[in-house]
């Protein structure tokens, strides 16, 4: 085993990375792996305790991490986040947008307020973080990598009663591809990771949690694990490994692409 080659191919030592969200499976596995691969990882999320817990998990394993509590839905909060990153770090290399909310409820019962809330987390917050992130990467002048973690549900209905989640996540696909096209010349590479049956990759909206507590069960092709998930369930580690590949040296010629982590669902 050629260990220098491995670190030269997949390692990100010395890079500064920002991960949004701190509670979903994506962030709680992605942030520690980026740190284990050598990056300094900034964790940004609304819940200060969750952010600090994730940072503590990273630092206790010997990694470098910092907590910056941020409301990713607030333009001023996101701007303050990136201003702090610019002040406190010499470089800015990697942005991973993990924040998301899954609101599972019948389409006809969805209120406009719920639509706006879901859209605010899934699309609008991604736009805000990407805009500020690209601005900072351009200012630093060293290129950069952005990975947006969405869902296989942006390609194909996986659960019933999930239209707004899928639609707002699907919009992130063209945001990703368009920004990839716009900034490839600046060596800013932008890609998607789209997990399927990875439970806990995003949070559930309060309305969905309340309905589930009252006994409502998730339905749809994705819950037919026997026939539609031939590789079984995925894990947050699967997401993290794909993200690290994309943000490390090995991902240097890949932009505007989607890595679909669906355990074979789309071919089932």
Q: Could you tell me how many residues of this chain bind another protein (CB under 8 A)?
A: 53
| Interface pick for another protein out of 125, 184, 209, 220 (rule CB under 8 A) | 184
Distance of CA 103 to the CA centre of its chain: 17
Residue closest to 234 by CA, chosen among 203, 205, 206, 193: 193
CB contact set of 6 (below 8 Å; sequence gap of 6+): none
Classify residue 239 by burial, with Cβ atoms within 10 Å: 0-12, 13-18, 19+: buried
Q: Are strands 203-204 and 101-102 parallel, antiparallel or unpaired?
A: parallel
**Residue 225 sits in the site that holds another protein (CB under 8 A):** no
Determine the interface stretch with another protein among 47-55, 95-103, 110-118, 232-240 (rule: CB under 8 A): 232-240
Shortest distance in whole angstroms from residue 46 CB to another protein: 29
Q: Are 164 and 114 in contact (CB under 8 A)?
A: yes
Q: Are strands 144-149 and 101-102 parallel, antiparallel or unpaired?
A: unpaired
**Residue 112 sits in the site that holds another protein (CB under 8 A):** no
**Residue 60 sits in the site that holds another protein (CB under 8 A):** no
Shortest distance in whole angstroms from residue 118 CB to another protein: 26
Q: Are strands 64-67 and 94-97 parallel, antiparallel or unpaired?
A: unpaired
Q: What is the C-alpha separation between 103 and 163, in angstroms, rounded?
A: 9
**Residue 230 sits in the site that holds another protein (CB under 8 A):** yes
Nearer to another protein, 92 or 245 (CB): 245
**Residue 126 sits in the site that holds another protein (CB under 8 A):** no
Nearer to another protein, 39 or 50 (CB): 39
Q: Which residues bind another protein (CB under 8 A)?
A: 1-7, 9-11, 13, 33, 36-38, 62, 177-178, 180-181, 184-185, 187, 189, 195, 198, 230-231, 234-235, 238, 241-242, 244-245, 249-257, 259-264, 266-268
């Amino acid at each position: 085993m050629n260990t220098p080659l491995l670190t030269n191919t997949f390692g990100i030592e010395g890079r500064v990375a920002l991960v949004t969200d701190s509670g979903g499976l994506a962030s709680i596995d992605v942030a520690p792996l980026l740190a284990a691969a050598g990056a300094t990882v900034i964790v940004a999320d609304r819940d200060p305790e969750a952010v600090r817990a994730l940072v503590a998990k990273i630092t206790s394993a010997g990694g470098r991490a910092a907590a910056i509590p941020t409301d990713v839905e607030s333009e001023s909060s996101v701007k303050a986040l990136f201003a702090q990153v610019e002040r406190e770090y010499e470089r800015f290399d990697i942005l991973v947008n993990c924040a998301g909310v899954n609101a599972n409820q019948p389409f006809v019962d969805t209120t406009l307020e719920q639509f706006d809330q879901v859209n605010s987390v899934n699309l609008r917050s991604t736009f805000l973080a990407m805009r500020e992130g690209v601005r900072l990467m351009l200012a630093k002048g060293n290129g950069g990598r952005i990975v947006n973690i969405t869902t296989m549900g942006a390609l194909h209905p996986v659960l019933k009663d999930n239209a707004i989640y899928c639609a707002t996540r699907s919009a992130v696909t063209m945001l990703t591809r368009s920004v990839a096209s716009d900034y490839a010349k600046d060596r800013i590479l932008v890609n998607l990771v789209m997990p399927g049956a990875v439970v806990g990759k995003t949070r559930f909206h309060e309305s969905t949690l309340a309905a589930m507590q009252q006994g409502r069960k998730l339905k749809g092709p994705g819950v037919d694990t026997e026939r539609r998930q031939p590789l079984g369930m995925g894990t947050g580690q699967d997401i993290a490994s794909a993200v690290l590949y994309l943000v490390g040296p090995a991902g240097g010629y890949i932009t505007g692409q989607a890595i679909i982590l669906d355990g074979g669902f789309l071919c089932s």
